[in-house]
Structure 1
Amino acid sequence: MKLILAALPSTLDFEVVQTDPNVKGNSAQGVTKPAVLECGATIMVPGFIDQGEKILVDIPNKAYMSRSK
């Protein structure tokens, strides 16, 4: 039997393929909303994130980190 080890990156870029539209004022209030990523996962993102944006995701915590550059 062989043991195979793989080290995955702790952050990855994903495109948001579905989320509710941005509502004016959401960025100042810390509002979050669910977003479906291109990989099929759903995470909570800030209210100012729109469909089609690329975001950086913290993989171990399954959490939004920032917009991708």
Structure 2
Amino acid sequence: GNPIYVELPASVVIEVTYTEPGLQGDRSSGGTKPATLETGREIQVPLFLEAGTKVKVNTGTGEYLGRVND
């Protein structure tokens, strides 16, 4: 048969299902913490992000690109 070619989008919007709560004042420190996405993948996100937040993630690198407001 013929090979199947699938091109993934450069980024996807996905929900953070678990991450430790951030502390007040974490917005300016620029640090990161682990977060689990709805797919089960773990990525690093800014300290201020909470579970339930939708984020944009680079599909090639798994890198956090930003928060998505719906």
TM-score by length of structure 1 reads 0.94
Displacement of 1:31 in angstroms is: 1.1
Q: Which residue of 1 aligns with 2:32?
A: 32
**3-state SS of the aligned residue for 1:23?**
coil
Displacement of 1:56 in angstroms is: 0.5
Q: Which residue of 1 aligns with 2:56?
A: 56
Displacement of 1:51 in angstroms is: 0.6
Q: Deviations over 1:1-29 (max 9, x none)?
A: 31110111010011110000011111101
Identity %: 36
Q: RMSD over aligned Cα, in angstroms?
A: 0.8
- Runs ≥4 in structure 1, deviation > 4 angstroms? none
Paired residue total: 69
TM-score by length of structure 2 reads 0.93
